[in-house]
Amino acid sequence: MKNFEFASPQTEAEAVGLLQDHGGRTAVLAGGTDLVGLLQADLVAPERVVDVRQIQSMSGVRREADGLWVGALTTLDDVLASPMLKPYLSLVQVADAHHAIQIQSSGTLGGDLCHLPNCWYYRNGYGLLAMKDGESLVETGDNRYHAILGNSGPAKFVNASRFAPALIAWGAKVRIIGPAPDQVEIVPLEYFYISPKSANQGNTILKPGQLISHIWLPAIEPTHVSATYEVLQMEGLDWPLATASVTLDVEGGIVRAARVVLGHVAPTPWVSLEAASLLRNQMVTEDLANAVGAAAVSKATPLSNNEYKVQIAKTAVKRAVLKAVGQLEGGL
């Protein structure tokens, strides 16, 4: 690990100022469950680490007329305990599925959203594009956990965030602060992620000196239902092979609006418009859920070792749809 300065600001403005120095060669520390490992492995080598955990305004959940402002420091345990977040079932299901008390008490929503990919080539120092001597290590190597969608460009990793699919299905936005003092942007989370095209690009729109301070969730209506279905190899702490989150607006048993978002299948969370359009103005049945799953993966282009993920992603979508309307019990 390289030496770095350590700063612990009390306010968002102080944090932005501290992140701007050293030409933006700085890093945000939240729960630290991933960043500490990245620092130890020299995969991230900032000149200053800015620990944002003392910033009160970035904690807690606040209700406003049109929705909720959720602090980026909200931990997974806070998600499980918050009466205001409880109706957003698809989010609570993600927090609950972590099955690791240390991570649930320390890991934050902001840290989850900005979690760097778990691609083993990236984690062994080959960069996000995993290139060696001009060749993609993913294409020729072990790509069993890599992307099956959105993988025609140089990025083949899968986005690591577990909460992003559910948040995007709810139409969440992120409040980004910096790099200039008082600079604030509110961006739909759907547009926060990018699939890098060159080695000097990251996997989000965050520029040096910026951080997420809050996540905005729209107010929930009585007709809204949601669910997340994650496929994991282990019962305990694990990274999903594929996930699906759906949010539906159901009136009189008919789906009026739908959002379907897959996770761990592409370099960004994958919004499936094809799947959502099949649900609109329909009553959910198992046959329809099957067709929605098939539509979600209809454009999949698996790599040499990950064809199996297509079926898993399809099933995750089908089960998320059925789970959202309370039809998952038994027989699946």
Ligand X SMILES: Cc1cc2nc3c(=O)[nH]c(=O)nc-3n(C[C@H](O)[C@H](O)[C@H](O)COP(=O)(O)OP(=O)(O)OC[C@H]3O[C@@H](n4cnc5c(N)ncnc54)[C@H](O)[C@@H]3O)c2cc1C
Binding ligand X (rule: CB under 6 A), the pick from 74, 90, 93, 108 is 108
Closer to ligand X by Cβ: residue 60 or 282 = 60
Is beta strand 61-64 parallel, antiparallel or unpaired with respect to 67-71?
antiparallel
Beta-strand pair 61-64/135-136: unpaired
Residues 109, 61 contacting (CB under 8 angstroms) = no
- List all residues 6 or more positions away from 85 whose beta carbon is below 8 Å from its beta carbon: 61, 68, 70, 79, 91, 92
Best CA proximity match to 22, nearest among 46, 51, 58, 50: 46
Nearest approach, Cβ of residue 115 and ligand X (Å): 4
Closest distance between ligand X and the C-beta of residue 220, in Å? 24
Sites for ligand X among residues 183-242 (CB under 6 A): 211-212, 237-239
Q: Does 284 bind ligand X (CB under 6 A)?
A: no
Q: Which long-range contacts (CB under 8 A, 24 or more apart) does 181-186 make?
A: 181/13, 181/16, 181/17, 182/13, 183/16, 186/216
Residue 175 in contact with ligand X, rule: CB under 6 A: no
Toward ligand X, which CB reaches closer, 241 or 313?
A: 241
Looking at the Cβ atoms of 113 and 275, the one nearer to ligand X is: 113
Nearest distance in Å: CB 123, ligand X:
12
Nearer to ligand X, 151 or 159 (CB): 159
Instruction: Compute the least distance from the CB of residue 98 to ligand X, in Å.
Output: 6
Out of 103, 148, 242, 289, the residue judged to bind ligand X by CB under 6 A: 103
Written in H, E and C, the secondary structure of 251-313 is ECCEEEEEEEEEECCCCCCEECHHHHHHHCCCCCCHHHHHHHHHHHCCCCCCCCCCCHHHHHH
Closest CB to ligand X among 30 and 292?
A: 30
- Residue 136 or residue 228: which is nearer to ligand X going by CB? 228
Candidate ranges 17-25, 32-40, 63-71, 253-261; the one touching ligand X (CB under 6 A): 32-40
- Structure token pair of residue 39: 């620092």
Instruction: Give the strands of the sheet with 254-263, arranged side by side.
Output: 224-231, 242-251, 254-263, 270-271
Q: Does 28 bind ligand X (CB under 6 A)?
A: yes
Q: State in angstroms the smallest separation of the CB of 114 from ligand X.
A: 3
Whole-angstrom distance, CA of residue 8 vs CA of residue 22: 16
Residue type, 17: G
Q: Which is nearer to ligand X, 27 or 255 (CB)?
A: 27
Closer CB to ligand X, residue 151 or residue 213? 213
Q: Which residue, among 172, 199, 154, has the nearest Cα to 269 in the 3D structure? A: 172
Q: Is 72 in the site for ligand X (CB under 6 A)?
A: yes
DSSP string, 123-138: IIIITTTTEETTEEHH
The nearest distance, CB 45 to ligand X, in angstroms, is 12
Verify binding: residue 115, ligand X, rule CB under 6 A. yes
What residues contact 7, with CB distance under 8 A and at least 6 apart? 18, 48, 49, 50, 51
Query: Per CB under 6 A, which region of 9-17, 100-108, 251-259, 314-322 contacts ligand X?
Result: 100-108
Please say which residue, 107 or 293, places its beta carbon nearer to ligand X.
107
- Only one of the segments 21-29, 83-91, 255-263, 266-274 lies at the binding site for ligand X (rule: CB under 6 A); that segment is 21-29
The residue ranges that bind ligand X (CB under 6 A) are 27-35, 72, 98, 103, 106-108, 110-112, 114-116, 162, 211-212, 237-239
